[in-house]
Amino acid sequence: MRKSSRGTILALTSVLLAGCALGPDFHPPAPPTTASFTKEPLPESTETAPIPGGEAQHFLTGKDIPGEWWTLFNSQSLNSLIAESLKANPTLEAAQDALRAAMENVRAQQGMYYPTITASSAASRNKESAVLSPALNSSALLYNLYQAQLSASWTLDVFGANRRQVEALQAQADAQRFQIAATYLALTANVVAAAVQEASLRAQIAGTEEVIKNISDALDIMRRQMALGQISGADVAAEEAALALAQQNLPPLRKQLAQQRDLLTALAGRLAAEEVDQTFELESLQLPRDLPVSLPSKLVEQRPDIKIAEENLHAASAQIGVATANMFPNITLTANDGSVATKLGQLFLPGNGFWSVGANILQPVFEGGTLAARKRSAQASYEQTAATYRSTVITAFQNVADALHALEYDADALKAAAASEAAAQRSLTIVRRQLELGQIQYLGLLAAQQAYQQALITRVQAQANRYADTAALFQALGGGWWNDPDAAAVQEAGR
| Average of per-residue pLDDT across 469-475 | 96
Instruction: Give the C-alpha separation, 133 to 322, whole Å.
Output: 50
Instruction: Give the C-alpha separation, 29 to 34, whole Å.
Output: 15
Give which of 195, 389, 394, 368 is closest to 282, Cα–Cα. Answer: 195
pLDDT given at position 204: 94
Alpha helices in 30-128 (DSSP H): 76-88, 90-110
pLDDT given at position 228: 80
pLDDT given at position 449: 85
Selected residue with higher pLDDT from 35 and 13: 35
Instruction: Give the C-alpha separation, 244 to 235, whole Å.
Output: 14
Residue 439 has pLDDT above 70, yes or no: no
Specify the DSSP class assigned to residue 41: P
Q: Rounded to whole angstroms, what are the CA distances from 302 to 35, 70, 297, 400?
A: 16, 17, 10, 12
Residue 45 burial (C-beta neighbours within 10 Å; 0-12, 13-18, 19+): middle
CA atoms within 13 A on the CB side of 492: 7
pLDDT given at position 129: 84
β-strands 290-293, 330-341 pairing: unpaired
Strand segments, DSSP code E, in 295-453 are 330-341, 353-362
Residue 15 has pLDDT above 60, yes or no: no
pLDDT given at position 460: 94
Comparing 299-303, 378-382, 445-449, the range with the smallest average pLDDT is 445-449
pLDDT band at 410 (very low <50, low <70, confident <90, very high): very high
pLDDT in tens, 191-210: 999 999 999 999 999 999 99
pLDDT given at position 21: 84
pLDDT in tens, 117-172: 999 999 999 998 888 777 887 888 888 999 999 999 999 999 999 999 999 999 99
Most confident of 316-325, 343-352, 434-443: 316-325
Asked whether the beta carbons of 116 and 162 are under 8 A apart, the reply is no
pTM: 0.87
pLDDT given at position 12: 46
pLDDT given at position 348: 87
Q: Return phi, psi of residue 316, to 5°.
A: -65, -35
Residue 17 has pLDDT above 70, yes or no: no
Count of beta carbons in the 10 Å neighbourhood of residue 178: 21
Residue 495 has pLDDT above 90, yes or no: no
Count of beta carbons in the 10 Å neighbourhood of residue 259: 13
- Concatenating the DSSP letter of every residue in 120-184 gives EEEEEEEE--TTSPPSSTT--SEEEEEEEEEEEEEEE-TT-HHHHHHHHHHHHHHHHHHHHHHHH
Instruction: Give the C-alpha separation, 372 to 367, whole Å.
Output: 9
- Sign for the CA dihedral angle at 65, 70, 76, 79 comes to negative
Residue 331 has pLDDT above 50, yes or no: yes
Mean pLDDT of the chain: 89
Residue 416 has pLDDT above 80, yes or no: yes
CA 284: distance to chain centroid?
Answer: 29
Instruction: Give the C-alpha separation, 84 to 78, whole Å.
Output: 10
- Cα angle: 350, vertex 351, 353; to 5 degrees: 90
For the chain, list the domains and their CATH numbers: 24-114+159-329+370-493 (1.20.1600.10)
The contacts of residue 431 (CB under 8 Å, 6+ apart) are 440, 444, 445, 448
pLDDT in tens, 42-71: 888 999 999 989 999 999 999 999 999 999
pLDDT given at position 8: 46
Residue 184 has pLDDT above 50, yes or no: yes
CA 438: distance to chain centroid?
Answer: 63
Count of beta carbons in the 10 Å neighbourhood of residue 137: 6
User: Residues of the chain with pLDDT > 70: what percent?
Assistant: 94
pLDDT given at position 489: 62
The contacts of residue 180 (CB under 8 Å, 6+ apart) are 92, 95, 96, 99, 490, 491, 494
The contacts of residue 353 (CB under 8 Å, 6+ apart) are 337, 338, 339
- Cα angle: 160, vertex 161, 165; to 5 degrees: 110
